[in-house]
Structure 1
Amino acid sequence: MTDDDQLTTNRRVIEQFRAGGEVDGMHRDRLLLLTTRGRRTGELRTTPVLVVDDDPTGLRFVVASGAGSPRVPGWFHNLVDQPVVHVEVAGDAYDAVARVAGGTERDGLWERLVEAYPFFVEHEKQAGRELPLVILDRR
C-alpha cells in the first residue's frame, strides 16, 4: 500500500469512527484514534491504531508496528518528542501522556498483546525490529 493509499484509508476510517457507525474492515471496540503533534510541523495528526486494554493492570496501550514495516510509524516519533496526546475510543475522548514500555513491563504487555493478536509475532519478524509498545496514561 502506498503512503497516499494509507492516508486515504486512514481518513475514511477516522470519518467512520467519529460518525459512530461501522468501520470498514475493523472492529470498532479494538480501534483508537491517536492524535499527536507533528514534531517538525507542529500540526495535529490523527491516526487510527489498534488498542489493547490490559484488563489485569488497567493499562491501555498501542503498538507502533506500521503493519510490520521496517520503518517506525511517524506518529511514534511524534509522541516520543511530545508525549501529550489525545485519545478517542468508542464513547470516550481524553488527553493522555504516552510512554514507551521497556524491560519487564514491555515483556508482560507483549505476552498479553500476542495472546490477543498473534499476528503481531509475524509483524515483528517482518519488521526486523522490536515493536514499541506505547502506554497511554490518562491525564
Structure 2
Amino acid sequence: MRSVRFVQKVSSTRGFARVAPYVFPALDRAVHRLTGGKVLLSAQLLPGVVLTSTGARSGRARRTPLACMPEDGGRGWILVGSNFGRPGHPAWTHNLLAHPEAEINWKGQDIPVTARLLEGEERAAAWKAVLAFWPPYAAYQARVEREIRVFRIVRR
C-alpha cells in the first residue's frame, strides 16, 4: 500500500505529466505487442486496456494503451481523458467522439465496444468513483481549465 501511495504522489506531479506521455505509452505498446496482448506494464499498477479507435480525421486505426476502471465484472469500463493533466484533450477522446464503435484488448482478449461520453449527473457519479479508484486524477483536473472527458465503454 505504501508503494501505491508513493506512485500516486509521483504521478500527480507536473514533472511526471511532462515525461509520462512519451515514455509509458511507448513501453506499453512494445510490451503488449511482444507478449501477444497478454501484458501491459502500466496494468501492474492500474487495470489497463489497449484501445483501438478510428482516427477522427485520418480514418486509420489508432492503438492507445490506457488505464481504465472496470465496471460490472468486466462488462464495461470507464476511460478518463486526463492526458496526464496536460491542457488539451487526448487524441483518442476526439476519435471516440467521431467514431464511438471501437475495440479494446482486455487481458489479451479483443472485445468490440461502443463508447459514450458521460455528462451531467452520470459523469459526476463516475468522476467520484474514478477519484476513489485513482486519486491523482484530482491533481490532473486541478491543473487544467478543460473538463476532463470521461467515457463509459461497453461490449457490443
TM-score, length of structure 2 as denominator length? 0.76
Identity %: 24
State the partner residue of 1:63. 80
State the partner residue of 1:75. 92
Q: Which AA in structure 1 matches 2:86?
A: S
SS state at 2:52 partner: strand
SS state at 2:68 partner: strand
Is 2:144 the counterpart of 1:124?
no
Moved over 3 A (4+): none
128-137 or 63-72, which moves further after superposition? 128-137
- Structure 2, unmatched stretches of 5+, are 1-17
Contact 1:17 1:28 in 2 (8 A): no
Q: Distance in 2 between the 1:28 and 1:121 partners?
A: 18
Q: Check 1:22–1:32 CA distance in 2 against 1; reply closer, same or farther (3 A cut).
A: closer
Give the Å deviation of 1:91: 3.7
Is 2:61 the counterpart of 1:16?
no
Q: Distance in 1 between the 2:29 and 2:115 partners?
A: 20
Q: Which AA in structure 2 matches 1:99?
A: R
Is 2:49 the counterpart of 1:32?
yes
Is 2:90 the counterpart of 1:90?
no
89-98 or 43-52, which moves further after superposition? 89-98
TM-score, length of structure 1 as denominator length? 0.85
Aligned residues: 135
- Structure 1, unmatched stretches of 5+, are none
State the partner residue of 1:138. 155
Question: RMSD in angstroms over aligned alpha carbons?
Answer: 2.3
